[in-house]
Amino acid sequence: MPLTFNERKKILKSANTLELTPFKIYTDEKNDDELITVIIPKFKNKIVVKLVSPRLKSDHFKIKLDKFGSAVWLNINGKIKVDRIIKDVKKKFGDELQYEEERITKFIFQLYTQGFISFKELN
């Protein structure tokens, strides 16, 4: 039986954030500037998708990420831990990104709370 959000949140509070391994739940598109757009379906129920989707312009939401968010998203692959993602993004942006550990971990947990990613340790 899958864990509830509160159960997962409790597990994450006791876990070392830097040792977590995030993986993507949704697909994405990359533009020429290496910026990511996350594609999120509007409906998950197959019956609703079949009935309502043909009447809509688009059956998904598009969430555009900035250059820092895109760099983090590109590093999320289900194999790399959060501490390595922080190092890779810091290496890419250098001094342009300040307070990288705090900002990136907050961003990753925001992705998690919005349901864009999950962590291998929770499965």
Q: Report angle CA 81, 28, 8 to the nearest 5 degrees.
A: 45
What is the C-alpha to C-alpha distance for residues 11 and 14, in angstroms, rounded to an integer?
A: 5
Is the domain covering 5-122 a CATH 3.30.70 domain?
Answer: no
- Domain segments of the chain: what residues? 5-122
Predicted pLDDT at 113: 82
Confidence (pTM):
0.80
For residue 22, the surrounding DSSP H or E stretch is: strand 22-24
Structure confidence by residue, pLDDT tens digits, 4-26: 777 777 777 777 888 899 999 99
Among 83, 81, 89, residue whose Cα is nearest residue 120: 81
Tokens representing 33 are 């500037």
